[in-house]
Structure 1
């Protein structure tokens, strides 16, 4: 999990560019292109949370070297977070369902996916992860909503990965 070194790397959303989001971190900028046409619920959730600055100062609290970097929990513990739908409509909508795209391969660094709560399907909230390697994600291809990919800033992921 997160050694104190990465706690200096808060996630700050600067602004939204169409269906891309620019994340400003203390390690550098990352641009995420969203798969809004294939994962409209996840993309809407992510954009809404960005718009209300929900992700500002979130830590990459779970970085597993050469696997994933996870963020999106304002508590920094991995146990917090709420979907935009839950914020707007109450606890009954804290989660939203998976949007699995049949045939989508997770085979490169920089794929962005929703993290499940407690490993349960259809338990997406605010937490998301970014892949730090390009292979051995077959198990995620049928279980996790992969709603975007890094368009710019792969060198930032290398920095984050190198801290662990």
Structure 2
């Protein structure tokens, strides 16, 4: 299982996202959430530290329902 999926599933199982809001919404592009502070600057991974990117050149955002991690640069994935 990819680390990104593992992180998301484990955070969900411990109710990490309960009560969080979508703090960013751009019509026909993206909604962003996963930050318990609601500001877009907070959040932690399941392990309490950022984890490495899992970029695969053959994968792309081609339609509705695609879920990805937001980050602040290379290898900075957390909860968003």
If the length of structure 2 is used for normalisation, what is the TM-score?
A: 0.94
- Answer 1 or 2: which has greater strand percent: 1
Instruction: Indicate whether 1:112 and 2:41 are aligned.
Output: no
- Answer 1 or 2: which has greater helix percent: 1
Structure 1 unmatched ranges of 5 or more: 1-35, 87-93, 128-164
Which residue pairs with 2:74 in the alignment? 121
Q: How does 1:21-40 map to 2 (within 5 A)?
A: 36=1, 40=2
Distance, in Å, in 2 between the alignment partners of 1:106 and 1:67 is: 10
Which residue pairs with 1:99 in the alignment? 54
Structure 2 unmatched ranges of 5 or more: none
Q: How does 1:56-95 map to 2 (within 5 A)?
A: 56-86=18-48, 94-95=49-50
Q: Which has the larger radius of gyration?
A: 1
Which residue pairs with 1:22 in the alignment? none
Between the two proteins, the alignment pairs up a number of residues equal to 80
Deviations 1:67-91 (A, max 9, x none): 10000000000010000011xxxxx
**Pairwise CA RMSD:** 0.9
**SS of residue in 2 equivalent to 1:122:** coil
Greater RCO, CA 8 A, separation 6+:
2
4+ residue runs over 3 A deviation:
none
Distance, in Å, in 1 between the alignment partners of 2:8 and 2:77 is: 11
